[in-house]
Structure 1
Amino acid sequence: MNELVQVNMHEAKSKLSQLAERAWHGDKVVITKAGKPYLDLLPNVDTPRARKPRRLKGKIRMSADFDKTPGDLVDGLRAVYEALAVLMFPKPPQIPCGSGLARDGDPPFNNGPAISNGAGLAISGYSRLVGSRGE
């Protein structure tokens, strides 16, 4: 747009909303009084405040052990993690040899190697389900 719009004070009072929209979209709106430019209507543009280094110096304190996690919190999180792992990865049922579902001589499910989920929790008993190569 970028048009120059000049209006007198009386007209500006009655059309303030429309003039504000035009100013917001880039038009230069000048309000006149007695035929002479009196006011410029400009959109409000936030200007970022200049950064003052060290303005909070001495106001923020951090303990020397801020990066050490309390042991009871670690134990609590570990218990929650293990409970979720049990819910997400329940143990498969044991199928005894000779039941018709496993061949005679096959070991039961829970005799296979453990599978680790990468977070330190090993889940045993899945070797027969995923195959001998860990697929």
Structure 2
Amino acid sequence: MLTINIHEAKTQLSRYVDQAAAGEEIVIARAGKPVARLVALAPKAIKPRPLGLGAGRFTMPENFDTFGREEIADMFYSAQAED
């Protein structure tokens, strides 16, 4: 645990914040008496999203994998024919 005075904390704040984020505990003192503690925040727990939230909200066309096949092929092959 590192103890620093307020003036040093103000002038080197970024450095001490980085140290605290890395897991070090820093005590800030005024006139040699501890007044504050700088520590890293606990990471926020991320809840997994439940599956199936979109069930029943939309339908997939039966021809989804072949939809627009001819138009897409025309776009590719007509561009080659123009060259």
Q: What TM-score do the two structures reach when normalised by structure 2?
A: 0.55
Q: Which runs of 5 or more structure 2 residues have no equivalent in the other structure?
A: none
Structure 2 residue 75 is the aligned partner of structure 1 residue 80? yes
Question: Is the 2:9–2:28 Cα contact (8 Å) retained in structure 1?
Answer: yes
| Shift of residue 46, structure 1, vs aligned partner | 4.7
Pick closer, same or farther for the CA change 1:84–1:20 going to 2, 3 Å: same
Q: Which has the higher contact order (CA 8 A, sep 6+)?
A: 2
Pick closer, same or farther for the CA change 1:19–1:60 going to 2, 3 Å: farther
Q: Quick one: distance in 2 between partners of 1:85 and 1:6? A: 71
Question: Is the 1:31–1:41 Cα contact (8 Å) retained in structure 2?
Answer: no
Map of 1:50 onto structure 2: 47
Q: Which of these residues, 54, 58, 62, is aligned with residue 58 of structure 2?
A: 62
Pick closer, same or farther for the CA change 1:86–1:58 going to 2, 3 Å: closer
Map of 2:36 onto structure 1: 38
Pick closer, same or farther for the CA change 1:63–1:86 going to 2, 3 Å: same
| Shift of residue 39, structure 1, vs aligned partner | 1.6
Q: Quick one: distance in 2 between partners of 1:17 and 1:29? A: 13
| Shift of residue 28, structure 1, vs aligned partner | 2.7
Aligned length, in residue pairs = 81
Q: Quick one: distance in 1 between partners of 2:2 and 2:74? A: 70
Identity between Structure 1 and Structure 2 (%): 19
Q: Which runs of 5 or more structure 1 residues have no equivalent in the other structure?
A: 89-135
CA RMSD of aligned residues (A): 3.6
Which structure has the highest helix share of the two?
2
Please identify runs of 4+ aligned residues in structure 1 that moved more than 6 A. none
